[in-house]
Structure 1
Amino acid sequence: MVQHRSITAAFSTDSRVYLQDGPFVEGYDIGTGKLLGTVHLPNSAVQLSYRDDGVFVALDSYANRLYKFDATTFQQLSAASTPNQGDWTLSRDGNVLIAGGATGPLEYSTRTGQPIPTKSVNAMPFALYFSDARWWLQYSGVTRNDTVRAVSAADGVSFDAAPQHPAVANCTTFFPWPAVMSEYLPTGEERVLLSYTDGVLEVRNTGGTLLNTVTLGTCGHLSLKTFPGKTGKIAFTSNSGTGFYDVAGNQIIKSNTFQDLGLMLLNGSLSSAITSTPPGSGSSYANQATYTFTPQNGAAWKLNNASRTLTLNVSSKFIDKTQIALSGTAIVDGQNLNVSGKLTTEDVEIQAQGLFYFNPTFHVALDFFDGTTQLYSATLSNHLTTYAAPGDSKTPLLDTTVPPSYEVSLSEADTNPLSGVLTRP
């Protein structure tokens, strides 16, 4: 069995890189690739942000919970409910919880848990999805001719966000409302970034004065990503590729790499490749993604995909027509363990009678123990061979030409499940 990973680049510091794999955040030494620690998040859908005080914040919007973790020790610092005024999201720097309101943005500090005073020009609605904690878009309606302004949530200062660059020829999908975010330069100066659907990025000062215009795509939407600290650099993706843009120097550092924005970090790059794994092309687990991190200064290193060898020897005890109790032993990577669990069925007692979606299945749930300590749990499933033709009324038959096999998902602490195929000898 092998680990099938789906990794995104969460954030990085000068010496560490933090990668998210489902509900886990793993921290690595950026130069050697040594795993330094792991945080188990409540689920894989949380939003992550890194604060400049060495804390990373995880927002679980489904459970309305905010978690804080020490990025050095990987210890949970706190868990608290979010305020109940709105649908919250995290600012890119992790310092602020933000939500849209009838008269402007609602903001709470993730450091103190207290509301942050905000100001707005008037009661026009705000577009949360085009915002960060510092700048918001304020618009007068929903048609192409409505006005739109970029508004500072801190002091209410605003400016016209209509494009100041020349129209891009033959760009029929252009829409005059931009996305807005800001970036701090190493000098501490703030720049407001307005990205338009023609692939053009405008860099303005906080008063709205246009400083630079750069074309990052060809008549298409831009996605931008900032990094912890006052770097003055952002990553971008467009229909022309991906790359980095130096805001202060008005320079595209790299472009046309066609890399996933979720894999991009300022001090290194994460790449992925698909490789085949046992038991081969006949299994739904035949391929896995392998990841390589290449630091800006240093040798590349590969992320480990865990693997296990499982041998199972269990006996069964009939309970009723839909379930069987299982007990016995297992060997996992040479370690002898005791096993207990249950096999349940799906559709097996129902006659086919020409039903196209007849799908008899065995489901197995097992727990593995070293003495009284549980080390693993596993789920197994076996979809029995059936006649698939809609008009076929024959009873489905087990395919005796193929050894019985089960697709296995093996779970253990602090790692995503391993998967493979278990075949009867």
Structure 2
Amino acid sequence: MMKLERKEYIINKINFLGEYLVYIYILAIFIESKLNLKIRYILEGFAILKILLDYKDIKIKGKEIYKTFLLILVVGIIFNYFASQSDGVEKFISRNIRFYHGLLVMIFINSQKKLEKVSNIIILGTALLGFGIFKNLDYVKLDIFRQRGIIVLGVAYCIIYFVETLKNEINIKKISYKTFFIGVATILGSLGVIFSDSRMGFLVVIFVIIGYIAYNLLNKFSLKKLVISFIIGISSILMFYEISPQWFQREVKTSFETKNNFSNEARIIMWQGCIEAFKKSPIIGVGSSLDDTGVYTMKAGIETKRGEVFKKEFAKGTFPEGHSIYLNFLAEVGSLTFIYLYLFFILIPKYFFKANKNSISIASFFGIIGFYIYGITWSIWSMYGLVQTLFQIFLAILLINLKEEK
């Protein structure tokens, strides 16, 4: 009897400490990658103890999704073993094993009350990072590229969560302090997107809002809710644009220029290189090492007709990958890309429509949508893995909201 009580006491302590480590782990994503890594190591230790002592209490939801991640990992390793001329196997593993970051959250966050706390941490993290970028404060230790990816996903989450919460409170005719807090975080996060000089971030916010309005049209149509969502959504876009400085507005207007814009033209060349790599090895790809893909992007740059400046930059190996998660998939692992696309655009949305529809699950889903859109022009699956970690946490939050699986 004493041994049983002692074991229960230890398990309760592990659950308590694991839960709060999850909150610190998520908050660290918005502040410092090294801190996030250190907390993750500790969290992994507690997760192992939880599995050893109390595995029957662990409920993993979305098993089909995680089996697909595992399938991708195994097949990708095999593809890289045969295709890569460098360290492709190691690179592929490090980029594609991150799905367990979401599982770490799922092990300790297993109730709606805990999910509310996780949501509050994401909102707080978005506010802190946005304000840190806006004021250029030292407590933000992330490089500019990770700042951009993380802040735009945080803003996507906050905007949708704010609108959902506001709609519910308008129905009961009571506005809470929490809604005010979410609104402030959304504004601070939006300032972070602007002052990180992220053109794509701005476009992601717009497309997430448009997608959210479309979702309201298709899901249990309610004229009142649609009008509220439309007014708040369009107002958010206009406010977001109007509060931005003129230099940022000029930057946004260049987003779709394909001439006389070095950044856009360089991306096009990188994409051409990835397509050539896919054509060279459409089944297993050319490998996930930068040495593997860099050969093709360099060749595309040297052969470009866009000018000598591009030839020189690409000849130096400045752009060794595709600057897009989708083009990188095609180049690196060939036909395995279609399993990724099935996972992203069929399997995960299917689980969303099975999930309990509340403010958290809806905001998480549109945070995931923001990741998909941002990934069109940024390598946030591979080069900036901390952004992928936030994606995995959004996915875990979404799955925790599922009804009990039989």
**Which interval holds the TM-score relative to the shorter structure?**
under 0.3
Taking structure 2 as the reference length, what is the TM-score of the superposition? 0.21
More helix by share: 2
In terms of Rg, which structure is larger?
1
Higher strand share: 1
Q: Which has the higher contact order (CA 8 A, sep 6+)?
A: 2
